Amino acid sequence: MLSRSGRRKATLLVCYGIIGLFVIFFLFPPYWMAITSLKTNQEIEGLKGIPLLIQEGATLQHYRDLFAKTDFLIYFKNSVLVTVPVVLLSMAISVLAAYALSRLGFVGASVLGTAVFLVYLVPDSLLFIPLFKIVGNLGLLNSKWSLLLVYPPLIVPFCTWLLIGYFSSIPKELDEAALVDGASHLQMLVRVFLPVAVPGLIAATIFAFTVSWSGFLYPLAFIFSSSEQVLTAGTVTSLIKGDVYHWGGLMAGAVLACLPPVLLYVFLMDYYISGLTAGSTKG
Amino acid sequence: MSANGTALDVTAPARVKPERARWPLRLRSRGAVGVVMCLPLIALISGLVAYPFFYSIYLSMLNKRETTFVWLDNFRYLTTLDTFWTVVQMSFLFTFLAVLWKAVLGFTLAVVIHALPVRGQRVWRGLSLIPWVMPLALSSLGWWWIYEPTHSALNWLLMLVGISPKPWLSEPFWARFSVVLVNIWYGTPFFMITYLAGLKSIPQELFESSAIDGASAPQRLRYVTLPMLKNIIAITLLFSTIVTLATFDIIRVLTRGGPRHTTHVFGTYAFELGIATGDVPLGAAVSLFMFPILAVSAFFILRGIRRSTV
């Protein structure tokens, strides 16, 4: 029979063992992508030694080629050009709606609240075909600007919902006092609510950025030319050329395209997680 | 405000009346401001979600050239296709297996991380979320390379431990296995993080008092943890059912539905028919088959959430 602290140590050891297995499973793909992007072509194609390590010297050639010989930079620029306005637009719509829904009781507010929640559950693969027709009718087919139209519906419901949670936690006395002092609702939103809800705003912005940056189905369906394509669909469709896959170059592209959301996550992890769990615990 | 108001009531009764008379007007304008602030949201929902949804139903009842209305012919035609039934089967199989494993693994990981000293939890939680943060289309590309049969890591590892290499993406059974595995890899962190948040919301005293009463660890799991997390577990399962059923990226990148259509799910098959081969109405009809499952899940999620807030 083990002592109490001995048992505790044994339990911890088992826990760390299980977590270790999970972390290897979770991190192997990014590790394999990164290491492949740094290997020479000869090493990737050769079957010598241990492929899990770089044995013949690391190279940045695949990254240099990505910038010099492919449309990668165009995709990158397009992704930025789409993501920035999508985030701003979505945040503006969400902030206004969240303020109104959490503070200004009006006829139909609760119905709208439920509708927002239901819309949050609508996945992109349910409506991309009618949206394909609608985008076409508006003359936006094969244009990156079509994404400004179709991404906000995927983002706004969650952000609104998240912000309602943050706004509701602000004491009502605060806005009553401000209103008595003659502040308009817009002034109050900007001067009282937004400063208090900064963590919520950060979490919502990260969410908006991630959805917009990672979207794959819509650009794949609506955009055909390289000059208009964004990173996800561009990397997947046009960096693959011919029958011989250039794994090194492909992985270099994937790694670089993954970097912005992953970096954002690394630096703002706590906001990210609070946003992610807001729905499940508060809701 | 209320303190201010009562002070006014006492000292200056004459002001009470106009204050009251102003109320209805103020309420009305308050409501009007609310509606105006919600207009962009309302426009977004009605123009880009509700309208496309009804438009999709209309589209699904047109012929291929979109010139005549054919009622339910597209749906009827789909049910005569063997491929369509393969898609239905795969969609359900994929969703069931992936959600089940994500829930089991996510729960295990959450319990294990929760058992660590609080100081160490943050790092492991942070590392475990990486798959969820990477854009799925791009990590699928990474998995595509992992599954490559001759030059890549997975078969090399198998051979290292003396197992024969597998045709990961070119044989129906292994292709299905592979796409489910990637979905588990991607979605387990989400389950972990919600369950972990749930575990942290359980009062510690419950565990302590049950431990004093002599409950073993499995008993505590059975009689304390699971009942306390029942609602979160149910909501997460339903939510993930919707997201998993709607999977597109993984399958489009890894197999494009192949080999022989055995890995197509509703989303990728709708894309194949509606966008790639240009039969928009038929594609719209395939997408709509997802709707009943989404609606039922949404109904129960909403009920679960109402229950947990009341």
A190-204: per-residue pLDDT in tens?
888 899 899 999 999
Tokens for A71?
A: 């449309």
CA distance A56 to chain B (A): 16
Cβ A254–B194 below 8 Å, yes or no?
Answer: no
Supply the pTM of this predicted model. Answer: 0.92
Does the bond joining B259 to the residue before it have cis omega, within 30 degrees of 0? yes
Contacts of B276 (CB under 8 A, 6+ apart): none
Contact A216 B246 (CB under 8 A): no
B285 to chain A: which residues are within 8 Å by CB? none
B141·A235 Cβ contact <8 A? yes
Nearest CA in chain A to B155: A51
Best interface-test mutation with B: which of A9, A93, A117, A125 has the largest number of B CBs within 10 A?
Answer: A125
Q: Minimal Cα distance from A118: which residue of B?
A: B298
B194 and A277: CB-CB below 8 Å?
yes
Handedness of CA B102, B103, B106, B108 (dihedral sign): negative
Report chain A residues whose CB lies below 8 A from the CB of B271. 125, 128, 217, 220-221
In the predicted structure, residue A235 carries a pLDDT above the cut 80? yes
CA-nearest residue to A31 within chain B is B142
Residue identified by tokens 């494009």 is B256
Using omega within 30 degrees of 0 as the cis cutoff, is the peptide bond preceding A157 cis?
A: no
Per-chain mean pLDDT for chain A: 90
In chain B, whose CA is at the least distance from the CA of A105?
B31
Give me the residue from B138, B153, B189 closest to A232, CB to CB.
Answer: B138
Tell me how crowded residue A113 is: count the other CB atoms within 10 A of its CB.
16
Partner-chain contact A281 B198, CB within 8 Å: yes
Higher pLDDT, B175 or A166: B175
Calculate mean pLDDT across residues A257-271: 93
Q: State whether residue A134 sits within 8 Å of chain B by CB.
A: yes
Which chain B residues contact residue A221 at CB under 8 A? 271, 275
Q: Do B138 and A277 touch (CB under 8 A)?
A: no
How far does A269 lie from chain B, in Å, by closest CA? 7
Closest CB to B33 among A15, A122, A185 = A185
User: Which residues from chain B sit within 8 angstroms of residue A94, using beta carbons?
Assistant: 41
Residues 6 or more apart in contact with residue A263 via CB below 8 angstroms:
none
Q: CB burial class (10 A; 0-12, 13-18, 19+) of residue B35?
A: middle
Which residue type is seen at B233? Answer: I
Question: Considering only A26-30, A114-118, B181-185, which range has the smallest mean pLDDT?
Answer: A114-118
Give A256's contacts (C-beta < 8 A, 6+ positions apart).
Answer: A63, A66, A72, A76
pLDDT for the residue B23: 45
Name residues of chain B where pLDDT drops below 50.
Answer: 1-25, 27, 310
Is the ipTM reported for this complex over the cut 0.90?
yes
Contacts of residue A57, defined as CB under 8 A and 6 or more positions apart, other chains included, come to: A40
Please give the C-alpha separations between residue A77 and each of A121, A158, A180, A265, in angstroms, as whole numbers.
30, 26, 48, 21
B 42-71: CB under 8 A from A: 42, 44-45, 48-49, 51-53, 55-56, 59
DSSP annotation of B13: G
Q: Is A91 on the interface with B (CB under 8 A)?
A: no
Tell whether B221 is within 8 A of chain A (Cβ). Answer: no
Residue A52 structure tokens = 């899990």
Q: Name residue B62's beta-bridge partners.
A: B69
Please give the average per-residue pLDDT across A105-131, as a whole number: 93
Residue to substitute from B6, B49, B109, interface A, most A β-carbons within 10 A: B49
B269 in reach of chain A (CB within 8 A): no
- Select, from the ranges A131-140, A176-185, B143-152, the one with the highest average predicted confidence (pLDDT): A131-140
Query: Residue B256: its pLDDT value, please?
Result: 94
Q: Which of residues 157-196 of B touch A (CB under 8 A)?
A: 185, 188-190, 193-194
Contact list, B19 vs chain A (CB under 8 Å): none
A283 and B309 within 8 Å at the Cβ level: the answer is yes
Chain-chain contact of B1 with A176 (C-beta, under 8 angstroms): yes
CA angle A235-A238-A241, nearest 5°? Answer: 120
Question: How far apart, in whole angstroms, are the C-alpha atoms of residue B75 and residue B85?
Answer: 12
Two tokens, residue B5: 């108001």
Contact between B298 and A118 under an 8 Å Cβ cutoff? The reply is yes
Sequence-separated (6 or more) residues with CB below 8 Å from residue B127: A23, A26, A27
> Which amino acid, A272?
Y
Chain Cα centroid distance, residue A15: 30
Record: contact B275-A177, CB cut-off 8 A: no
DSSP lists the bridge partners of residue B69 as B62
pLDDT, position A174: 81
pLDDT in the model for residue A244: 57
- Chain A stretch 31-50, residues whose beta carbon is closer than 8 A to a beta carbon of chain B: 32-33, 36, 44-45, 47
